[in-house]
Structure 1
C-alpha cells in the first residue's frame, strides 16, 4: 500500500452522503425563500421594534363646541325643525334622555355618559356627543364611523356608545314606556277605540314583523330563514293602539316561525293566565264581557281575546261584509305602527349588523321605547302614566307550576275558547251594523 492510499479517508460513502445532504438542504431553503418571498438578509421579526398604535388628534373639545353651537345654543345654527328631522325628536326630549341615562343610580352605565378626563388629563367625550352618535346610528342605520368627521368619535367608540346607550335606555325607561296597560290605561283605551273604530272592548291590534339579520351566524341560518323571505330574520310581536303606542313587544323569535308559533311563546296573555290582569268589563249587544280583545288577521286562532274577520263573507250578508271592512280598517293600527317605527329608525329598516341576539334585542326595544316617548312628547298619546306610591308592581311571570293548577287550567280553557270568540264576534257584527250610518 502506498503512502497516498494511507492518507485517503476510510469511510468514503459517509463523507459523500453528508456533502450531498448539505447541497440539497441549501437548495431547498433557497427555493422556499423564493416561494414565500422571504429576504434572507432581512432582519428577524424578533429584532424589529413593535409598531405603536396610531394616534389621531380628533380635537374632541372643538367637536363638542361645534355640536353645541349647531343645535343646543340659545340661538343655534339649525333650528328645531332641523333637529326634529335629524334626531327624530325635539330638543327637550333629547336633553331629558341624556340627563336620565347619566343620572346616578338609574343605570349601570351612568358613569359612561358623564364627561371625564383621560390618562393625560384631556377632557373626554361629552354625553351629548355620545348620545348623538347613538341616535344617528339608530335614525339613519349608518356605519359606526360615518360621523367621525363631525363628532370626532372613532368606529369602536361609536359602537360602544350605541350598545351602552341602548342598554341604558332599556334599564331606565322600560318600566314606563314598555309597560303593560294598567287600570287607567285600559279605561282610556276602551273609550278611545269605541269612539274612533266603533269596537267596544278593543285594547289594540296584534301582529308580527320581521327584521332582516345580515350577520346571522352560519349555524343558525336555517333556523332563522323562512321561504317567503329567503334570508335570516328575527321576529317582533307587537300590540299597538290607535295612537300608535306600542303596548307589547316580544322580540327574538326565529324568523322561520309563523305568527301562531310566536303567539304560543309570547307572554301577551300571561296576566290573564295568572289572574292579575286589570279589570276590563264592557257590554256589546246587551251581553257583558270581562276580557278585552285584540284585532288580528286571519292566521291567528279563534280565541276569546282575539277578534278575526271573515275570510269569505256571503255576498248577500251585508252585516258580515260591513264588519269585515271595519275590522280590517281598525286592524291597520299595528301596521301603521310598524311603518312609522321603520321609517323613524333606519337601523330597523335595514339589515341587522350585530351577530348576537341580546344586542339586537336592546336595539329593538330602544327604538320602541323612543318611539313611545316621541308619541307622548308630541301629545298624541291616549294615556299619560304616572306611578302612584300605593300602586303595587305586578308580579312577574313564572315558568313554574301555579299554586292552584286547576284554576290555571280553567283560565287557559276560557282564554282559548272558540265558542266565546264566535259569540263575541257575532255580537260585534250586530253592534257595528246597528251603529252604522
Structure 2
C-alpha cells in the first residue's frame, strides 16, 4: 500500500471528535470513514510492533512511517546463575561455579577413584557405569564435539553468551547418567553440579541423540547371517532348541507428558496412564539383539511384531535364511534319525501370530511330554522378561516414567538404555558364551523311561535349578478339554492323540516329501512345534538337556565350587 503524503495525512482525523461539528452534530461521513481507516492502520502497526518487539510512541502515525517496523538486532539470552549460592565476607552473594560443585570435587578431580575399590563400587552404584568406562564415555563425547554440527560441539568450546569456557562436559555426562539411572529431575542435578537445569536439559537431548545412534549401533548388533547368529544360539542348542536365536516379547514404558491428541492411542485397555510399547529380542545371556522403536500403548504383541524388521525378516525369509540345524525324529521303525532344517526362529508367549518362526508353549494338552516341553519353553522364554527387569531396575527412568516432552524422546531414551545395557554386559563379561550349565538329571537321578521322567529323590535339590525341577514336579494337564463339556481333570498320557479341537496336525499332512531340508518359514506352527517336542523328548531321554548358566565366581574371579 502506497504511503500517503504528509499533506493528506495531516487532514486525516485522529480522534472521533474531529468528525463532528462544534454543535455536536455529525458533519461529514467521508471524514468518519477516514478516521476508521486511520484507527485500523494504527492497530495493525501496533500488532506488527509487538510481533517484532519494537517500542512505538503514542503519537505514532502509520502514514508517516514504514508499514513494517525495523527488525531488532538479535541478542543472545544473558546467562542465568545457577541455584546454589555462596556467601562472601561482605554479605554479598555470588553464584558457585561448576568447578566448585560437589560432583566436580568428588568425581572429576579426585583421582582416588582410579585405585580405591570401595569408591569404584559406590560410583557404579550411583551412576551405573564403572569409573573407567565413564572416562571412556567422556572421551567419546569429546570426540563427537570437535566439529560444527556434531552432537556435543556446543559443550566442547566457548560459551556464546559471554565467551567463557562452556560447562564441564564431565559434569554433564554425570547428570545424564544420573537422570537415566535414578529417574531424577533436573532440579535435583542442579544442586550437585551448579549448572542450570536448562543446560542439563539441552545436553540430555544431545546425549539421547548420540546414544540412540552411535552407542546403539556399536553395542546392539543384530545378527545378519548364520555365522553371527551362531554365537547367540549356543545356549539354546544346549537346552534342546537348535536353531533358536532368542526370546521375544513386548513391554510398556510410561510417558507422563504425552501430547493430548495422542492420549487415546497411548492408553491401553487395562492401563490408566499413557505408555509406549516396545518389542525386544534378547538371547539367553540377556544381551539385546534387536528392538523396535516405540508404538502406541494400545498396540498388542501381534501388532508390534509386524513392525519388527528382525522377526518379519525371519517370517518372510529375508533374514538369517542361511541358518541350518538338525532335529532328531522317530522314523517308522522307531529309530531316531536327524532331519535338516534351515532358517531361524524365536520363542514367545501365546500373544503372537501363529507363525512357525515365533514358537509359543502349548496352552491346552494332557500329554506329559508336551507339558514338560511347554514348561521348559516358559523357563527359557523368561530370558526376555529378565532383560526387561534388568533394564528397568538399572535405568529407573524406564520404571518411574519418562517426564520429557514428546513421545519421540521416549524412543530415544529406550534405545540409549538398551545400548548402555549391552555395554555393561560386555564390561562384566556376560555377553560371551556361557560355559556353565546343569544337566537335566545331574547324572544322579534315575530315568523312569515309561513316562519319560527322572526320579530326583535322594538328590541335593539345592543344586538343581528351578527350571529343571519344574520338569519333574506337578505335571498337571493344561486346561485340556476333550469332551466339549469344559476343562476337566483328564488322565495324563504318554502317547500322542488327535482330538478334533487340538493344536496338532498329522505329520504326514505337513511333511515336505522329496526335500532333503525343511525350511522353517514354509512350515506351519503346529507341525514345527511337534517336531521340536519330539526332538526335546529324545534329547531328554538321553540326558542331553542342559540348563545354561554362568558359573558363580568370587571377587578374585575364581570359580566357586558348590559342595
Q: Compute the TM-score of the two structures, normalised by the length of structure 1.
A: 0.75
CA distance in 2, matches of 1:428, 1:52: 68
1:62 aligns with 2:104: no
Shift of the 184–89 alpha-carbon distance from structure 1 to 2, 3 Å rule, reads farther
Residues 109-120 of structure 1: matches in 2 within 5 Å?
A: 109-114=151-156, 116=158, 119-120=161-162
TM-fit CA distance, 1:89: 1.9
Deviations 1:242-290 (A, max 9, x none): 1111111112211111100111222123544473536211111222111
> Which residue does 1:86 correspond to in 2?
126
TM-fit CA distance, 1:179: 2.3
1:308 aligns with 2:360: yes
Q: Of 390, 400, 422, which residue of structure 2 is paired with 1:340?
A: 390
Higher helix proportion (structure 1 or 2): 1
TM-fit CA distance, 1:55: 3.4
CA distance in 2, matches of 1:52, 1:343: 40
Shift of the 112–288 alpha-carbon distance from structure 1 to 2, 3 Å rule, reads farther
Shift of the 300–230 alpha-carbon distance from structure 1 to 2, 3 Å rule, reads same
> Which residue does 2:324 correspond to in 1?
281
> Which residue does 2:444 correspond to in 1?
none
Unaligned runs of 5+ in 2: 1-22, 26-54, 58-76, 83-94, 329-337, 435-518, 544-563
- Contact 2:113-2:131 within 8 A present in 1 as well: no
SS of equivalent residue, structure 1 residue 359 = helix
CA distance in 2, matches of 1:92, 1:198: 39
SS of equivalent residue, structure 1 residue 353 = coil
1:99 aligns with 2:160: no
1:162 aligns with 2:201: no
TM-fit CA distance, 1:415: 7.2
Higher relative contact order (CA 8 A, sep 6+): 1
> Which residue does 1:396 correspond to in 2?
none
Unaligned runs of 5+ in 1: 1-12, 16-44, 385-413
- Contact 2:291-2:308 within 8 A present in 1 as well: no
1:174 aligns with 2:216: yes
Structure 1 stretch 90-99 or stretch 343-352: which is displaced more? 90-99
Q: Of 208, 224, 232, which residue of structure 1 is paired with 2:250?
A: 208
> Which residue does 1:30 correspond to in 2?
none
CA distance in 1, matches of 2:254, 2:536: 39
CA distance in 2, matches of 1:338, 1:429: 28
SS of equivalent residue, structure 1 residue 312 = coil
TM-fit CA distance, 1:150: 1.4
Deviations 1:397-431 (A, max 9, x none): xxxxxxxxxxxxxxxxx7765x4322221121112
Residues 185-264 of structure 1: matches in 2 within 5 Å?
A: 185-195=228-238, 197-264=239-306
> Which residue does 2:440 correspond to in 1?
none
CA distance in 1, matches of 2:161, 2:265: 47
Shift of the 299–71 alpha-carbon distance from structure 1 to 2, 3 Å rule, reads farther
1:146 aligns with 2:146: no
TM-fit CA distance, 1:231: 2.0
1:428 aligns with 2:468: no
Shift of the 295–52 alpha-carbon distance from structure 1 to 2, 3 Å rule, reads closer
Root-mean-square deviation (CA, aligned residues, Å) is 3.0
Q: Compute the TM-score of the two structures, normalised by the length of structure 2.
A: 0.59
